A and B are shown apart, each in its own frame.
Chain A
């Protein structure tokens, strides 16, 4: 029971950023707040950190009511999307900042800073200024800085959003391994479902100021609570009044006579995957098969085919009509 958020509401003028949100974030875990931009996840994170104050509701951190506590007394580490590096200080002084504020003895500070710089592999950059570091290095420095004061909770606001794709993936893995080593309760905000699925122990899906679902990555992917969660966490296509994963659609020869009949109207090959548009009587459905399966089926544009939903496939009722045949998740 590390962080308890209870009935938090936050408004910015007329806009309701968070609407009666309650969630309990487990101690020692790596939790993701996942959702589309503007959904309220960053606001929630900042309220937990004390950088914003809620209009209603309470925040409890490790049993202590932190609702009205200013940020500097909450002992939370915060990592910003754009690093928030102290530009006029060296990497060393950046990491040492929190300890200097707490007036720790010099040798204690030195030992801790060196330890952390080693942890994030920035030892040889100790005397450089942040401007001389790459984006990934700056973010590692920011992490070291946040961890220096041994915070109760580590909060990261889209920490890899400003980095390019390759660095993002590297730091993602690195964050997971760091967490396994350091084990502090960590909450990070992201709009990238792949990131959340890969890194987090538990995911809280937030949309429009409300929590859609809380669960492990497997739970969210295999047992989505509804339309939004299913669409947000993976590709979907609509068959009849149901949402189903494109790879859960089995393509059978027309002669089999089962399922829904349609005609292949488009074939796109993407790497190992082949995506097909199948036009049925009333919709265009997107299916996805492996290249081997595709070759076995011997389909071409114009071929008739039958669509069957695989047994045990996840389906959910449609709440909002799907615009494209195969609605992919935006990266």
Chain B
């Protein structure tokens, strides 16, 4: 009897030990990440070109198809000049109102606690979420001179709102509401209150702190917000269409004029107008992007 256990089974042939899988070298990893980076960049560039760059360049092409003639024709037309002026004034007023209220609301949202703050935050985004046509319609409901909430009262005081300049301004201002705020709020949050507290300890009152510390620290956010507001205001169509009445030479804005020309088969005129509108907006954005110092977010 074997009292030593011996394993008598034939030993299976052991395959030669396989070489362990080679880990990618540092250079290979580098190359892989570089490929991914370039791929992503190409995807982004193609996306921007297809959606934004190419259509805009086509508009530019059509507008400049006859050289500067189509554009010169626009400037020779007094109705068009009125349309441009109307659009510009409405946009500038919108920028002014949205800058003042935008900065105020931003400071309120970031530096203070109060009941209903979350609701206010949500309301600020409303103009972006709601269709501009709905914006226009709601303004009509409130301000029309027959059955609106405020319309008859204001009309009685001699102040015509609906289907006139004030309504255009309101519509334009409303749709651009969130733009300044959404630029300023993150910057205010990041800057924090330390600097303002330091200013306080050094003797600065609220206004001095605002002017010397807060405002300079949000300067570029405000400027960028203003530029976006200008661009958005120049280009507003839907809300303005509902509230303006579109009377030639009185309440027709540049964007409404583009539609009008296009529908009346004045395609060159339409493209020329659209081109000018886009040009101003794009120029503003480019200028600000170039001026902005690199370290500012």
Contact = CB atoms under 8 A, between A and B. Distances in A.
A87 B203 contact: no
Given A80-B194, A84-B195, A86-B198, 19 more contacts: A71-B201, A72-B200, A72-B202, A76-B201, A78-B201, A82-B194, A84-B198, A86-B199, A86-B213, A87-B195, A88-B216, A88-B217, A97-B212, A98-B202, A101-B202, A101-B208, A145-B198, A146-B201, A149-B202
A84 B203 contact: no
A102 interface: yes
B213 A51 contact: no
- The residue among A77, A82, A98 with the most chain B CB atoms within 10 A of its own CB is A98
A220 B203 CA distance: 36
Interface of A: 49-51, 70-78, 80, 82, 84-88, 97-98, 101-102, 131, 142, 145-146, 149
Contact of A72 (B194, B205, B213, B295): B205
A233 to B, nearest CB: 30
B217 A87 contact: yes
A71 B200 contact: yes
A86 B204 contact: no
A277 B102 CA distance: 66
Nearest to A82: B194
B201 A72 contact: yes
B197 interface: yes
Contacts of A82: 194
B202 A97 contact: yes
B199 A97 contact: yes
12 contacts: A50-B200, A71-B197, A71-B201, A72-B204, A72-B205, A75-B203, A78-B201, A80-B194, A86-B198, A86-B213, A88-B219, A149-B202
Interface in B130-156: none
- The residue among B195, B198, B212, B217 with the most chain A CB atoms within 10 A of its own CB is B198
A75 B203 CA distance: 7
Contact of B197 (A75, A80, A142): A80
B203 A98 contact: yes
- The residue among A74, A76, A86, A142 with the most chain B CB atoms within 10 A of its own CB is A86
Contacts of B204: 72, 97, 101
A72 B200 CA distance: 5
A102 B64 CA distance: 59
Contacts of B213: 86
Interface in B199-234: 199-205, 208, 212-213, 216-217, 219
B135 to A, nearest CB: 37
A131 B195 CA distance: 14
Nearest to A98: B202
Interface string B24-43: 00000000000000000000
B197 A51 contact: yes
B188 to A, nearest CB: 14
A131 B295 contact: yes
- The residue among B208, B212, B217, B295 with the most chain A CB atoms within 10 A of its own CB is B212
Contact of B201 (A77, A85, A102): A77
Contacts of B199: 86, 97, 101
A218 B201 CA distance: 33
Contacts of A97: 199, 202, 204, 212
Contacts of B203: 72-73, 75, 98, 101-102, 149
Nearest to A76: B201
A101 B197 CA distance: 14
| 7 pairs of A and B residues whose beta carbons are closest in the complex | A98-B202, A84-B194, A78-B201, A84-B198, A71-B200, A88-B216, A72-B203
A49 B216 contact: no
B193 to A, nearest CB: 9
